[in-house]
Chain A
């Protein structure tokens, strides 16, 4: 799984399988989490977010799970397609002083979908 401080992990799946990408975050005070998808040569694209008062949120083919006890976040992609191949980043939003918040990114997981 992904965590700040590790080299970029990779995940290879077959088309049609479900994918699970993991992320460990560092700050128990973080109250908002986001998953981004980044395709080659493009900027990060928002996929789904979750607030700390929730433990699960679903979107179209994607589900994010949040376990605050162990500071773990996961992104599940159902019926993975070749177009899902990309680097996936988790990001945590934490207070940086006053009313300011900063987004801190993990290093990403490379997902490769084999046809």
Chain B
């Protein structure tokens, strides 16, 4: 049981490049989410999904797209990377039901030059 798996672990991009951060979970969780973590800012919600085919915006969605074609996968796309998107990105999942803890991956450390 791998839990939440994020790839890649590290990535350096040039401004304007695009890329996809991958997230997969093997716990059959309906709810998945993406956060970014910046120094002194805590974790901020980017996008989330309550099930396959359903996504919604979080607190800081601009510059990011998501899709949820399967229960297991929830990729995050940066369409045109900007230095302000330099951050550590975490994917999380939890079972259906509001009062359940989210389980996090180990993050992708992204630098935009």
Q: Contact residues of A with B, CB < 8 Å?
A: 4, 7-8, 31-32, 34, 36, 41-46, 49, 51, 89, 93, 95, 99-108
Q: Contact residues of B with A, CB < 8 Å?
A: 4, 33, 35, 40-45, 48, 50, 56, 58, 90, 92, 98-99, 101-107
Chain B's interface: helix, strand, loop or mixed, by majority? strand
Q: Considering the chains assembled together, what is the distance between the CA atoms of A43 and B105 in angstroms?
A: 6
Q: Which of A45, A89, A102, A106 has the most CB of B within 10 A?
A: A102
B43 x A45 contact (CB < 8 A): no
- Closest chain A residue to B103, Cβ basis: A46
Please judge, given known A-B contacts A32-B99, A43-B90, whether A107 and B104 are in contact too, CB under 8 Å. Answer: no
B102 x A103 contact (CB < 8 A): yes
A7, A41, A44, A89: the one within 8 Å of B40 (CB):
A7
Q: Considering the chains assembled together, what is the distance between the CA atoms of A101 and B101 in angstroms?
A: 12
B50 x A100 contact (CB < 8 A): yes
**What are 5 sample pairs from A and B whose C-beta atoms fall under 8 A apart?**
A34-B101, A44-B90, A44-B104, A46-B102, A102-B58
B45, B50, B56, B107: the one within 8 Å of A103 (CB):
B45
In the complex, chain A residues whose CB is within 8 Å of the CB of B102: 34, 46, 103
A46 x B106 contact (CB < 8 A): no
Q: Considering the chains assembled together, what is the distance between the CA atoms of A100 and B55 in angstroms?
A: 11
B98 x A101 contact (CB < 8 A): yes
Nearest CB of A to B54, in Å? 10
In the complex, chain A residues whose CB is within 8 Å of the CB of B45: 102-104
Q: Considering the chains assembled together, what is the distance between the CA atoms of A46 and B52 in angstroms?
A: 25
In the complex, chain A residues whose CB is within 8 Å of the CB of B4: 43
